[in-house]
Amino acid sequence: GLNFIDLMVRQGNIDNPPKTPLVPGFECSGIVEALGDSVKGFEIGDRVMAFVNYNAWAEVVCTPVEFVYKIPDDMSFSEAAAFPMNFVTAYMMLFEVANLREGMSVLVHSAGGGVGQAVAQLCSTVPNVTVFGTASSFKHEAIKDSVTHLFDRNADYVQEVKRISTDGVDIVLDCLCGENTGKGLSLLKPLGTYILYGSSNMVTGETKSFFSFAKSWWQVEKVNPIKLYEENKVIAGFSLLNLLFKQNRGGLIKSVMDKLLNLYTSKKIKPVVDSLWALEEVKEAMQRIHDRGNIGKLILDVEKAPTPLMANDSTETSEAGEEEEDHEGDNENKERMPFIQ
């Protein structure tokens, strides 16, 4: 699986970035080739998906058994590689941190991305939940059925939300950071919860710009605990990787995965795979996420041969990670980017 956190790792925009050389990647799917002496519950040949503390983008991966889960019979390997990070993150934020219940409202940014689509699907499992989403306008047609109210990511979504819901929303899920932190807090109803789970605004263009990073950081509104107290608001952060690999909550994540796999087998949720890429194409795949061109999850497939570059392919980088105006090239090369609607 290819995640936005991988771009942050590449640019060093994370706590204690690993020393190079390293193999990136935090989730994968495949077939069990070998077992440790004390491993129980798995056999060689089992189809599995797993969390990995780096090293997932490889033909052979080793990870502790507590991070490994069997794949349901009707789930493909590409779906399995798209499943763990997005759905566990979405589930934990909605149900463990924010306590989503019937009749609540949720604002999610990057509604067309892997986590955004997982959030929308999980919200649909609870009666009468209203989902407000922001996404690039060219994605709206593809994702409009999964979100109650959809806004362009460059629009003034605060006013749009308040026009529909005067009081604001119960839950804000923010993967952008920067100026969106203050906007999200302003939209919370009393007893509402704001959760920061990413900071994609901290990722700059092809070359890392300290000034772009600093500008995004200083746009974060300083949070006053007294103001939170007076307004009855909750502010939280969520990092699945820290929960797994630094805070030893593998048991909790396993119970969440069990619930999610039950939802999958009962056909209530299904990972959205944007496209498959060869390992040699990782630069272009990362660029697609950087430019927010994906709908759902990008997958690196170790068995896939690189697709010959077409005349309309472009790996040029926009200056600051903004979308290019013309996205038609994304859709013309169906072999390279097979959208699954």
CA distance 165 to 160: 9
Let me know if residue 306 belongs to a domain: no
Confirm whether 316 is domain-assigned. Answer: no
Residue 266, C-beta contacts closer than 8 angstroms, at least 6 positions apart: none
Amino acid letter, 293: G
Sheet of 68-70, strand order: 27-31, 47-51, 68-70
pLDDT tens for each residue of the chain, 341 residues long: 999 889 888 887 777 778 888 899 999 999 999 999 999 999 999 999 999 999 999 999 999 999 999 999 999 999 999 999 999 999 999 999 999 999 999 999 999 989 999 999 999 999 999 999 999 888 999 999 999 999 998 889 999 999 999 999 999 999 887 778 889 999 999 999 999 997 665 555 544 454 455 555 555 667 788 988 999 999 999 999 999 999 999 999 999 999 999 999 999 999 999 999 999 999 999 999 888 889 999 999 998 988 876 444 444 433 333 333 344 334 333 344 443 33
Domain, as residue range, for 223: 4-209+219-300
10 within domain boundaries = yes
Nearest to 323, CA basis, from 175, 139, 162: 139
pLDDT at 36: 94
Whether the link from the prior residue into 308 is cis, omega within 30° of 0, is no
d(CA 72, CA 95): 23
Burial class (CB in 10 A: 0-12, 13-18, 19+), 155: exposed
Q: Give the distance, in angstroms, between the CA of residue 83 and the centroid of all CA atoms in the same chain.
A: 10
Residue 37 CA to residue 68 CA, distance in Å, equals 16
Looking at residue 130, its pLDDT comes to 97
CA 152 – CA 110 distance, rounded (Å): 10
Number of Cβ within a 10 Å radius of residue 323 = 17
pLDDT of residue 202: 54
- Look up tokens 């990073």; give the residue: 213
State how far the Cα of 106 lies from the Cα of 173, in Å rounded to an integer.
8
**pLDDT (0 to 100) of residue 199:** 67
Instruction: Please report whether residue 177 resides in a domain.
Output: yes
Q: How far is CA 306 from CA 21, 146, 244, 335, 337, in A?
A: 23, 32, 33, 11, 12
Q: At what angle do helices 157-164 and 180-187 cross, to 10 degrees?
A: 10
**Sheet with 105-108, edge to edge strand ranges:** 149-152, 130-135, 105-108, 169-174, 188-196, 234-237
Three-state secondary-structure class, residue 323: coil
Does 337 fall in a domain? no
- Domain CATH number, residue 153: 3.40.50.720
Note the pLDDT of residue 155.
Answer: 87
Q: How far, in Å, CA of 282 to CA of 300, rounded?
A: 7
pLDDT at 13: 73
Q: Give domain status of residue 93, yes or no.
A: yes
What's the domain count of the chain? 1
Give the pLDDT confidence score for residue 18 in this predicted structure: 80
- Has residue 175 been placed in a domain? yes
b/e for 156-194, b at 16 or more Cβ within 10 A?
Answer: ebbebbeeebeebbbbbbbbbbbebbebbbbbbbeebbb
Q: Is residue 52 part of a domain?
A: yes
Q: CB neighbours of 132 closer than 8 A, spacing ≥ 6?
A: 105, 106, 107, 108, 147, 148, 149, 151, 157, 161, 164, 165, 169
